[in-house]
Every structure is written in structure tokens, then in C-alpha cells.
Structure 1
């Protein structure tokens, strides 16, 4: 290869830089051989010289311009406002936040709105369920018949019930105590026996103080022969002591207070409120009311005890009948709708009662009737009585041993 010789002096090529900006259209930067720049050719120097020549600005105005530049940069990153003052809606359905706090508020709002709201469509054809007031279909007619059959008021409860067993001339608190005592004695006892026991107690002195001062043996003789008289003697002593200690010798004036007394149940409490305090707090349901209500179909479904019957009756029976229904049904149960073999043939409700003629005895035909030859249905007590009468008229033959029978046969053969 041939050696290349370079001279120490280098020629520089002058280059012209032409820019599209107006600032650069008027000025051209020239590089000389020595490499120094033309003092008027740089961009910063051009801008500075032009500003200084045209409009000198103070440092405060420069600071304001810098703040405006920052604000313009922030606005450029966000969407411009519409003419109506409302933010422009992005394709996702969200608006551009103005500041950082607005962005946080908007993001939390968006998070809340992301939760799904479940709505149920209402069926136009389906109507809301309504609880209908239930009542027996024939109860008004049956109640009218029972009132007609009870119009004479000659049942035992009318003459010897709790309303008739207290001393009308005694002080008010003593009368109320006697009403409570007669109700306690009437449990599992006929009204005739209860009335007789109350007469003896009143003659002895039926007050809280006298009952506490009487020994158990004497008190038992006074109330005998009521049902469970020994247990009732104990209940009378405990109740009298409780009344003297907590109620000043009077009886409580509420059902809650009455049922706290020993030997007093809901039926006695409601009857005591009605008779002693003249306040209707509920229906007094005993065995008669419980039995007849089920027989007449006055309950939505059959009940097992008097307390269930009371609650079922109070659901539909008008309140103004609560006081009357007890003595009506009790007397009706004592005379017509008996516990065993009810007299359905004489009952006015026999055509509307669902239990009519199902437990009644078959009517016996007259002696001269054509059906007299048929065997009639008799009660167990009557059958036993018939057998007893036959045994008295026709004595049964005495049993004979086989040996005696053979001897009698031989004697007959020999003769």
C-alpha cells in the first residue's frame, strides 16, 4: 500500500442548519475553522436577547408564568370541559377527575357502583296472601238455639255456681275471697257438692283469717266430700297465707297474679276476674265448654285440653260473648249435651251439629210398635241390671257332679 500523507491544515466544511421554526429561519449558525461558535448563532442566546429587547419581565411574573405552565400541563393530561359545564364522558362511562382528590372520590364512587343491585320483578298475576278471619259456618244459628234451650236457667250452674256461693252481705274483699274459694272447690266436683261445702264454710267463717286459724282436719271435714279434698285443704291454706302476706287479705286483680296462687289455673283466674272483679280477661273453659266446642265444630282443628280450646275460641269469638259463653255451655252440657249419651234427639242444633246422633243411644220403641220385636241397643249398666233381675227371678241350676248323674241314671233304669 502507498503511504497516505495528510496535511496539518484541515479544511472545515461550512454547514448551514436550516430549521422550520421561525426562530431558526432567520439565523444561521456558522462554524469557523478554529471551531468557535458565532456568538449570535445559539438558540438560547437568540431567545434571551429577543426577550430582553422586546419585553423585559420581572421575576414575579416569571413565577406566575411557571405556575400557569404547570396548570396547563395538568389540564392537557385531562379531557377538556364541554360547553355545558359537564365533564366529558369516557367510553367506559367515567368522567375525567379534575384534581387528585376528585380522582380518589371518583374511584371510590366507581367501586361502590360496581356492586350489583338485585331487583325482583313483581308478578302481576300473583296477589299477596291475606290471612282471613276464620269462624264456624253455623255458629250463630247454634248459639241462638243454645240460648233458647237455656232460657229457663234451671241448670245446676244457674243456682249453685260460683256466682251463687258467696255471701252478698259480706265486705267486698271477703266476697271476692269466697268466689275464689268456690272456684277452687269446684274442680272435679259437681255444683251441688260445691254449694253444700261452701254453705258449711260460710257458717264456719270463710275468710282468710279463719281459714288460716282452722286446722287441717276441721277444714277437711267442712269441705268433704268435694273431689281431692285433702289436696284442696293444702291449697286453701297456702293460698290464704299468700293472700294475707302479699295482697292484704284480698285476691289479685290480674290473671297473672291469680295463676300464681296454689291450686288456681287459667280457667279459675278468668272466671274470678269476671265474677269477682267484673272484668273480662278471657274465656273460662272447663270440661263442658271444651267438650261442646269440639262437638259443635267451633274449633279450626280438634283440641286436646281446655287451655287449647280457650285459645282457639278467643281467636274468632267476639269479645262481648266471652263472659256469656261459659255459663251458656256449662248449663247446656249439664242438661242436654251430656258427657255420655248426649240427648241429641231433643237438641235444637241436631241438624247443624256435626256430632249429632253419633254418640246418642238408640231410642227404644214402644211396646206395641211393629219394631218392638227387634233387639234394641242397651247400655252396659242397663244390661247388667237386666241380668241381675233375671238372676233373682230365675235362679241358675246348681252344678251336679258326674258321679251323682250316673247314680241318677242307674236308679231310673232299675225302676
Structure 2
């Protein structure tokens, strides 16, 4: 009669011992038995995490060199971990997807052309009218803070023309490094609570701490308090208690730069003598590739060399609002931009480039009578934005403005 149960042999074969040591090494490298069991199979039917012996030294058998020292019972095998890193790039996938054979968006700045007689003419960037019209179309669809709280609209229309001009100047001085919403609140507070009303005489009568209390939410309010008080004294003494009507006079006031001066001339005096270039105008026109400038004054000179004068006043409001709603300084919404959709902006983010980093972990198990290597591959995916200048995008003509897009996402 056969026994109901058999006793396991006390001595294990060498093959069985090797198998157990191999499994133990696999667990060290993979972290857990569950990860080892879930490893995917490769083409020859073996698991990617299946253990393989270390190549033997010359003159030794295929099982590997035998280590002289032995491991005590119950003692864990020492493990040496080595990491290797390989990188591979995946082809860029541009989006939005277009139909047909798209063209590449390129930077096409304004060009300086010298005639035979030595005269210099600036040729505008190609498609600038299409870009301008599409941007205006997007601005009309999205109300921006500058539309309701911009410096041009903050002066009290019930005040005298002189006081309105002074309020516009102060609004521009406060707007530097400050959001329109904050500037609007400060101006409204002075209009409603300043003793004697918001005018030059009231500002002159206020002590600096009292004036600072009205504007303490704007950026650099302590410095701006000093500038406003100094400017008010200059206006009283040199400009007959009114603001200057020239760019030179406005820029002579403390805290007033060229951008403020041109905007003030336009808003307060109704004269467009130059383009007010703020951070949005400077940043966006460079993104469009109209020029390659590093300073706002360079941008102003570049734009004034070819942009029609009737647009000098409009372009600031146009691009400030565009920069507040779609082409933001951080996190541009290129997916909502018609310029990106039609391939007109070379800086539009239209896709992602994926880089796969393959990290190989090797665990070397010692003390088991042989050396075993266990490798595990870890994939790390990194992505970066693809600009339209590096991808394929379609171009549109000015006649297409107002029509449904020919391209579909």
C-alpha cells in the first residue's frame, strides 16, 4: 500500500538550488514577486524578467564561477545594484491634425530694402494683415480686462478735461508692474474718497502716507507715491497745473517712460505720435516673427517703420487684450488660437516630442555558489513642446477670415 504522503528529500539537487537562488535574485531586482509574475513575454516566449546566468570567465563552465566562501544558513545574500540609462526619441506627433499637405510655418520678419537711389524702404512681414485681422476677430469674441479696466477708460468722464487728463496720467503711472484689475480699484478709490476729488490740487494737499494708503495694493506703491508727488509739483510749477502735451515733456516726469508717454498722448490728448509698447506688444510681435528685438524701444521703432499709422493706437489695446485672454505669458492657449489653427504663428505649440529613457537595473547576487545577474528595464517618458516653426502647419489667406476653418482638429 502506497503511503498517504511522501517526505521531501532532505538533499536538493544542484539544479533546484540554482533555481531557488535565481528566483530570490529576481525578487531582489523586481521588488516583489507580483511584479515578476506580471512581466510581459518577449518574442521567443521567455519573460523579459527571466533570470540568466552571468557569462563565465575563460576556462569555466557555462554555469558561472564558483565563489569560495559560503553563506551561513539564514544569512541574506549581499546584492550589488548597477543602473544603466539609455535614451531614445519618438517621432513628434503634431496637432491639430490637418488635411492635405500642410506647409511649414516660418518666421518672416519685415525686410529693409535699399533702392538704387539710396532710399530705404521697409517691407512689412508677409501675411501681417491676415494675422492682424484674425487677432482682432479673436479679440472681439473675448472680453479682456483691458477693455473695461484699461488706463484709457479709468478717468471720470464727469470731471473736467484737465482733471481727466491728470487721472489718465496717474492711472498709467500706477499700471506699471500691476494688473489692470488692481489699478482700476485704486483709481476708483481715489475718485470716490479723496478729499476735494481726484485732481492735481488734492494730490498736492495729501501727505505721502495718505496718498500711499490709496495705492498700497499696486506694485511698488512706495516708489510710485514718491513719483506722483514729485510729478504733481512739476505740473504745478512748469506746466500750468496740466499735463504736458509733448512726448519730451511727459518723459521728463519721474516714473514716466516712453510707453506711458505715447499711451498718454493718445488717450489724454487724442494724438497718436508713437506706439505704446508694453510687455504684451513686445512679446507677441516677437513670437509672430515680425522682428527679433530685445527691448521695447527696439520693438517700437521696428513697428513704426512699417505699420500704418492708423493702427498705432489700436495695436496696444489689441495685443494687451490678446495677451490677457489667449496668448498668455505663461500657458499660452494655442489650441484656442486661430493663428495656430491656420499655421500663421511660428511659435505656436502644436504638439509634443516624447523622449523615452530606458533605465536598466542589474542586481548581482553573491554567496550562492555562483554569481547571478537579474536585469529589469524601467521606462521613463519625458515630453517637451513642439513649436509650429519645427512642425507642419497649414497657411491661410486674408480672404479666409470670417469663413469656417478648412482644417479640422
Give the alignment's TM-score, normalised by structure 2. Answer: 0.56
| Structure with the higher fraction of residues in helix conformation | 1
Secondary structure of the structure 2 residue equivalent to 1:133:
strand
Equivalent position of 1:281 in the other structure: 273
Equivalent position of 1:194 in the other structure: 183
Displaced runs of 4+ in structure 1, greater than 4 A? 126-130, 373-379
Q: What is the alpha-carbon distance in structure 2 between the residues aligned to residue 191 and residue 224 of structure 1?
A: 15
State the Cα deviation string for residues 124-156 of structure 1 (Å, max 9, x = none): xx9666634321112111101101001135100
Structure 1 segment 7-406 matched on structure 2, within 5 A: 131-152=120-141, 154-203=143-192, 204=194, 205-299=197-291, 302-350=292-340, 351-357=343-349
| Structure with the higher fraction of residues in strand conformation | 2
Shift of 1:297: 1.2
Shift of 1:277: 0.5
Contact 2:275 2:312 in 1 (8 A): yes
Secondary structure of the structure 2 residue equivalent to 1:157:
helix
Q: What is the alpha-carbon distance in structure 2 between the residues aligned to residue 134 and residue 251 of structure 1?
A: 37
Contact 2:142 2:325 in 1 (8 A): no
Q: Which residues of structure 2 form unaligned runs of 5+?
A: 1-114, 354-378, 386-409
Contact 2:170 2:228 in 1 (8 A): yes
Segment drifting more, 199-208 vs 236-245: 199-208
Alignment length, in residue pairs? 242
State the Cα deviation string for residues 168-198 of structure 1 (Å, max 9, x = none): 0001100000000000000000000000010
Equivalent position of 1:104 in the other structure: none
RMSD: 2.4
Give the alignment's TM-score, normalised by structure 1. Answer: 0.55
Secondary structure of the structure 2 residue equivalent to 1:349:
helix
Contact 1:341 1:361 in 2 (8 A): no
Structure with higher Rg: it is: 1
Identify if the C-alpha distance between structure 1 residues 374 and 274 changes in structure 2 by more than 3 Å, giving closer, same or farther.
Answer: same
Identify if the C-alpha distance between structure 1 residues 202 and 378 changes in structure 2 by more than 3 Å, giving closer, same or farther.
Answer: farther
Identify if the C-alpha distance between structure 1 residues 230 and 132 changes in structure 2 by more than 3 Å, giving closer, same or farther.
Answer: same
Q: Which residues of structure 1 form unaligned runs of 5+?
A: 1-125, 363-372, 380-415
